[in-house]
Homo-oligomer: A and B are copies of this chain.
């Protein structure tokens, strides 16, 4: 679990960071809004804990910016402002929870867990796979490369899905036969070669960087050429 704490008060910050690390979180810390936003943009966090009042930038502005980039990470707002209107504003602004200082660490932890638990449900049902500029939407059954629609047949779709789910790793012929063809024996033919060939013609031919690579003697691998 990765957490990002954006908090300028060093006492509060170190209290949070320590406590979270003890609860097995990997914690990053930023002490101003700008740094925090950059970190939020460059890493995938499971939870963000943002102070309401920050030097140079309001906590609410951070949240709005983060949400504007499409980032759906759960955000807990921390504030000395206990006023109802402030709390309402925080929640309406895209925050997922609002906790007033002083707070107990156990309650903070319980709220974080609740937020993550809830968010996980959304994340678990991943329906779009990405490898470089190649994109597969499992629900719509569509494949795109560089934004351009590519029409693939069912068997090709399964093959590509398996390759994408194992992108960056070598995938052997035996694995493909098992997972894509449900064969538990060697059919003694070159079915795989043929389908790889067809797939290549569709996803690599028209583009400059080939993604579907042959690993001689081993199998195939889908990945961006280094």
Contact = CB atoms under 8 A, between A and B. Distances in A.
Copies in the complex: 2
A88 interface: yes
Nearest to A105: B84
Contacts of A97: 97, 114
A88 B72 contact: no
A6 B171 CA distance: 52
Interface in A77-113: 84-85, 87-88, 91-92, 95-97, 104, 106-107, 109-111, 113
Interface residues of A, number: 28
Contact of A118 (B107, B113, B118, B138): B118
A72 B74 CA distance: 18
B84 A104 contact: yes
Interface of A is mostly: helix
Interface string A128-164: 0000000000110000000000000010000000000
Choose among A84, A107, A110, A122 the residue with the greatest number of B CB atoms under 10 Å from its CB: A110
Interface of A: 72, 74, 84-85, 87-88, 91-92, 95-97, 104, 106-107, 109-111, 113-114, 118-119, 121-122, 125, 127, 138-139, 154
Contacts of A110: 87-88, 91-92
Contact of A122 (B74, B85, B118): B118
Nearest to A157: B141
A65 to B, nearest CB: 18
A91 B72 contact: no
A164 to B, nearest CB: 14
A98 to B, nearest CB: 8
A199 to B, nearest CB: 19
A96 B121 contact: no
B139 A114 contact: no
